Structure 1
Amino acid sequence: MAYATPSESVDSELRCSICLGTFVCPSTLSCGHSFCLQCLDATWETASSFSCPQCRATFPVRPQLRRNVALVNLVEQLRVGDGMAAVVMCDICGDGHTPAVKTCLRCEMSYCFSHFRPHVENPRLRDHAVVDPTASLDERRCCNHKRELEFYCTVDRSLVCSSCTIAGEHKGHDVTMLKDEHETRKTRVGEETRAVEEKRKEAEESVKRMEAARKEAQESVAGIRGRITGKFARLKKALDEDEREVLQRVAVKERELLSRIDEDIARHKQEIGELQAAAARLSNLQHERDSLAFLQGHLEETRRYRSSMPHD
């Protein structure tokens, strides 16, 4: 089936080491390595022993290959997420460049608008199951029997083909047609959708309540912060006033104390000057030879000294 090649930026972990392409219907061996199921089948088709193509781990019997659904989903998500989804081309058009509009699951071919018209106009083709264009028809086939997945096994909760129900591992299990299971699950999905929607609404209401509580808490804290700021501003103002008043009293005391000290210093300096003058006169008096002059001078100094002494 013709389709555009995906971008080569696909993660190397999602490439088959046999074909070197992106996984198609990947299957994982017990050793942990994964390959395209078709690649493993082709590798082991004529082999006398069975081993992992990558690590060479051997298996006593041929492993039962099953599709790794997780890897299938991962590859598909990567293609969609990276914008690498394959463009399916019409299998009839010879140019290989005409996009398909539908894929017929019965014919296993994709058609452009013109080549799809017979499926609409021909009564024998109208009952064919058609889907939107897809290049992944292998994902719609049973990995074990290569037949179309037509049934749902209610025991194993898996999609199976008719061969699985007749001779495969799902033999004897309760199965339903995909269409019937689809209708059953549509009702369930509707109920689940309503339940999810209800939970979403409840979550939104919870968010609204929490946002309202958050806003209320912010407003409450803002009010408390304002009151605290105002209270400390008043306290600071009162403390500043007390500080100025105390400093003013200290300044007055300082001036009074310094004034008294300055007066004492001036008095002592005056006394020092007078004592220096007296010392000079007494020194000169020691050299006086005239007894009368000596006694007159000494009596005068004695009088001066007594008059300078503080009186009781």
Structure 2
Amino acid sequence: MNRDSLEMADHTKMEESQNTSNVLCDACHGNQKLSAVKSCFQCVTSFCETHLENHKTAARLIKHKLIDPVDNLEDYICVKHEKPLELFCRDDRTFLCSICIEIGHKAHNIVPIEQESGDQRAQLEKTQAEVKMMIQDRIKKTEEIKSSEKNNNVKSLIALIERCQSELLEVIWQKQKAAEKQAEELIQELEQEISELKRRETALEQLLHTEDHLHLLQTCSSVCSLPQVKSWTSNITDLNTEIFKKALQGLQENIKMELKKFFEIIHCPHRPSVVQESSASDSESTDSVPSHPLLVSEVL
């Protein structure tokens, strides 16, 4: 590979590094600072590809601890011993430097912060999957409520009911409004939970993509806890429509029966048996069938 090709490859690599980091190189001067590709614990400095070269070649710098660039590098330094916080105590849930281990943490479960960050990242992914499932479940419930409301056949009977009794129509509309109000309240509650879960999902997504191990470990436990939301395991799509439908079906059959009797009397005025039978039937069923074909509100 010739010199021009090498320079072009280095330039391309530098451009890629600039597109993947928002942390600027501390060693660059002026206003044209390049994006950092690594941060050094010992130097407490972030370097671009060019200024990182010494850490790859100089014998005294090769052993320095390098991490993906972070803008809060000073937080990775122990305030007591001014050493890099490279370790994590699982017993005390705290960050440690090499000196901290010897002071109160000798027998504790100590791991590198990268390892603990990886374990916590797995927990974050699990929680994120649970939150996504909860969101989908609530979206499904919302659609079920909307579908249940759309499939209500009450309107198909309105014309017949209006001819029966105005009071009955008022009862029907009251029941319909109650069902709509209940549906709106349930949808509003579900949408509020969906919004809360989406906020949690966003926080989880951001935390999963952060390269800031310190920030991840500090906020993981609070983000991993699922929000306090309702279970929604029961069937909430009925909205009292079954009782409503049965009442309307009974009403429809009663109206048809009464209208049939009425038309028989009209078309057969000289048949006393029909009139007497109708009158007798009305008298015998006073408790179950209204005496007038339009007075049918008792079915509800």
TM range (shorter): 0.3 to 0.5
TM-score w.r.t. length of structure 1: 0.37
TM-score w.r.t. length of structure 2: 0.38
Relative contact order: is structure 1 or structure 2 higher (C-alpha 8 Å, sep ≥ 6)?
Answer: 2
Higher helix share: 2
